[in-house]
Amino acid sequence: MAPAHAASFDNAKVMNRFTLTQRLVAKLKREEAVVGGIGNTNFDLWSAGQRPQNFYMLGSMGLAIPIALGVAIAQPQRHIVALEGDGSLLMQLGCLTTIAALGPKNLTMVIMDNGLYQITGSQPTPAAGLADFVAIARGAGIAKSAWAADEEDFDRLIDTALAEGGPTFIAARIDDKPGVGATDRDPPQIRDRFMRGLGAKKAG
Amino acid sequence: MHGTDTKTTWHAIVQSTLKANDVKLVVYVPDKVFTPLIKTLHADPDFTTFAAAREEEAVGILCGAWMGGRRGAVLMQTSGFGTIPNVLASLAVPYQIPLIMFVSERGTLGEFNLGQAMVAKTMRPVLDSLGVETHTMTRLDETEFIVDRGIKQAVATQAPVCFILSPLLTGGKVFEG
């Protein structure tokens, strides 16, 4: 469960998605896989440094977490991180109950919450200012769910998730800055690189 | 046609053919007709079998599992298929992932729910327009051949396949008053 000093939505610092993504990627020393959701989460993942263990999702809004769960089931020895936006998660909230039921220790979910459908013109989501994604995740049965109070707290939560296992749900409040760069939109190449990066397809 | 001898039921054949092809991860959204297959798979420790909250979620899980090196299949009913054209068109097809789908066919041969009958009419046109290999299964004696060859082709060509299980094979679901 969350420690007594855990941050809440109200006192969590508004951070920057690209900064947090860079801090996350810098911590990945064991060829952990990362699945970037549609739009800015995967643009920032791409821009934070391309790794063979990164998967960039170009459509199928809301499915970054289910895709990450599938990888986690296939490769129980590898840790998987799903990067997802708040609007995307709203499209597939039911997946949190599936994850709670299965309890994969090697899965971490990071939600970037700015309350906006940023890429379509920054319309507010139906959840903006009302729903608490950490409370939703906890209510779905994911006990290790927390708001990141600030960048240092985000680092600590990631360290704990990677070291102790989960499933872990980390939500971060972010600003409305656009994504940095854009992913090369070549689905077969993205998939092929990812499979080779995971050792699911041999070199050659 | 749909007797209880485990060696001659459609669900026993599907189970053994999945296993023979190393397809041992099954994610489903429940369906009455699939109940005997779901029970069989849950009882077989060689399989990892669980329910997802929604069909497109199940497709996402299976696409991730394939990329991680594990083969799987999704079970859904016709109305569930109606929720997945976007994930087929934006994930499984363009990323060239051999998604294996089993759909229990509602909406025909004695359907009693107009909603099912209408959504059923959208299924094959969607599959055809996406170029997805589709087999309608009606006969017990063809079940193993179709499932076996269909899976092998999907894997070899890195393309999704959809097996539509007709009421002619399964008995379907009938109006009970």
Is there a contact between A191 and A131 (Cβ–Cβ < 8 Å)?
no
Q: ipTM, 2 decimals?
A: 0.96
B150-168: per-residue pLDDT in tens? 999 999 999 999 999 999 9
- The secondary structure element, H or E, covering residue A173 is strand A168-173
The reply to whether residue B95 touches residue A191, judged by beta carbons under 8 angstroms, is yes
The reply to whether residue A69 touches residue B86, judged by beta carbons under 8 angstroms, is no
Distance from CA of A5 to the nearest CA of B (A): 33
Chain Cα centroid distance, residue A24: 10
How far is the CA of A114 from the CAs of A139, B16, B19, B113, in angstroms? 21, 48, 45, 42
Nearest-by-CA chain B residue for A96? B53
> Does the pLDDT value for residue A204 go beyond 90?
no
Is there a contact between A61 and A88 (Cβ–Cβ < 8 Å)?
yes
| The residue to which tokens 């872990």 are assigned | A168
CB-based contacts of A158: which residues, under 8 Å, 6+ apart?
Answer: A23, A24, A27, A108, A110, A170
Is there a contact between B140 and B1 (Cβ–Cβ < 8 Å)?
yes
Nearest-by-CA chain A residue for B56? A63
User: What's the pLDDT band for A203 if we cut at 50, 70, 90?
Assistant: low
What is the radius of gyration, based on Cα positions, of chain A? 16
CB-based contacts of B86: which residues, under 8 Å, 6+ apart?
Answer: A59, A60, B56
How far is the CA of B23 from the CAs of A198, B26, B97, in angstroms? 19, 8, 14
A52-98: per-residue pLDDT in tens? 999 999 999 999 999 999 999 999 999 999 999 999 999 999 999 99
Q: What strands lie across the sheet with A168-173, from one edge to the other?
A: A54-56, A33-36, A80-85, A107-113, A168-173, A144-147
* CATH architecture classification, A17-197: 3-Layer(aba) Sandwich (3.40)
Nearest-by-CA chain B residue for A94? B53
Of B57, B59, B64, the CB nearest to A94: B57
Contacts of B84 in chain A (CB under 8 A): none
Confidence (pLDDT) at B176: 75
A-proximal residues of B, 6-25, CB under 8 Å: 25
> Does the pLDDT value for residue B1 go beyond 90?
no
Nearest-by-CA chain A residue for B65? A70
Confidence (pLDDT) at B63: 98
pTM, two decimals, is 0.96
What is the radius of gyration, based on Cα positions, of chain B? 15
CA proximity to A147, closest of A9, A24, A5, A1:
A9
Percent of chain B at pLDDT above 90?
A: 89
Distance from CA of A3 to the nearest CA of B (A): 30
Could you tell me the residue ranges of all domains in chain A?
A: 17-197
A110 forms beta bridges with: A83, A170
Contacts of B57 in chain A (CB under 8 A): 63, 66, 92, 94-95, 98
Q: What are phi and psi of A85, to 5 degrees?
A: -90, 165
SS3 category, B57: helix
A129-146: per-residue pLDDT in tens? 999 999 999 999 999 999
- Rounded to an integer, the average pLDDT of B38-52 is 98
Class assignment of domain B10-169?
alpha beta
Could you tell me the residue ranges of all domains in chain B?
A: 10-169
